[in-house]
Structure 1
Amino acid sequence: MAYRHDRSRSAFVFSMTDGAEGTDKFIEFLTELRTHFAGEIVIVIWDGLMAHRSRAMTAWLATQRDWLHAERLPAFAPELNPIEQFWGNMKSTELANLCPDALDEVRVATESGLTLIGSSYDLCHSFLDHARLSL
């Protein structure tokens, strides 16, 4: 979930790829994210996934400090991760028992779930309000 500091805009930003997620794919995603948020400072909130804290990622992040800051959540604290509730809902409804032949079928199901959940502005900001977070 992406938020502007003044709450003027919010969005879900995600990427789907074939195969396992790893450091290289996250670096590729973050590079695309930089293009999407051209000229803006980005703060990424991460859980403890190994790809988020690998040596290669740590080294890459050190070269991106002019635009990107990574904040890590404490271990075993999914309730602090704003996206966990969204993906939990998506996995139990639109993606439940889905056996796609192509990645595009997952994209369609995910987009359908986003539409059913409601506007990203409402969902994103409802989470911020519930967690008593201000940006």
Structure 2
Amino acid sequence: MLLQARFEIAADLRAAGVPGPEGRAEGLRLEGLLPPARPELGGPIVLVWDNVRLHLTRGMREFIDKNADWLTVFQLPTYAPDLNPQECIWSLVKREVGNLAAADRSQVTRAVKRKLKQIQYRPDLVDGCLAITGLTIND
């Protein structure tokens, strides 16, 4: 569910013209993205962030404080791949496409999307990526 929601939000961002990882998301404001995403996701939103300066701005902190009833933010240390389940997911993807001899970027994109879709339907992999961090989800 979490992975699916993330991909859907990413697709919405691409459709809105926000550049992907190869470009910079200049002007992208989470303050505008998160409130509409909340009803789509059907509940509170939890963000797990590294300490990138963008995440620590006064405006972002004010936004988080103002919306604390539905928005929870966990700050990771500056560099903490061992605490970030997303690093494990990307590691699984890289194993699949690492030796791909692609003719163009679209072939790489298709391979990445295919692997992410496979992972989406393997909750045991997602759970395993969370388990190796030592973090837990409290219901």
TM-score range, shorter chain: 0.5 to 0.7
Cα contact 1:11–1:121 (8 A) shared by 2: no
Counting helix residues as a fraction of each chain, which structure ranks higher? 2
Cα contact 2:48–2:73 (8 A) shared by 1: yes
Does 1 or 2 have the higher relative contact order (CA < 8 Å, sep 6+)?
A: 1
> CA 1:59/1:86 → structure 2, altered by over 3 Å: closer, same or farther?
same
Distance, in Å, in 2 between the alignment partners of 1:97 and 1:47 is 32
Structure 1 residue ranges without an equivalent (≥5)? 3-9
Equivalent residues in 2 for 1:1-135, closer than 5 Å: 2=2, 11=4, 13-14=6-7, 15=10, 16=14, 17-18=18-19, 19-21=23-25, 24-38=28-42, 40-91=43-94, 93-94=96-97, 100=105, 106=109, 108-117=110-119, 119-135=121-137
Higher alpha-carbon deviation: 123-132 or 69-78: 123-132
Matched length: 123
1:97 deviates by 8.1
Distance, in Å, in 1 between the alignment partners of 2:65 and 2:26 is 18
Distance, in Å, in 2 between the alignment partners of 1:28 and 1:91 is 31
Structure 2 residue ranges without an equivalent (≥5)? none
Cα contact 1:47–1:74 (8 A) shared by 2: yes
Aligned CA RMSD, in angstroms, stands at 3.2
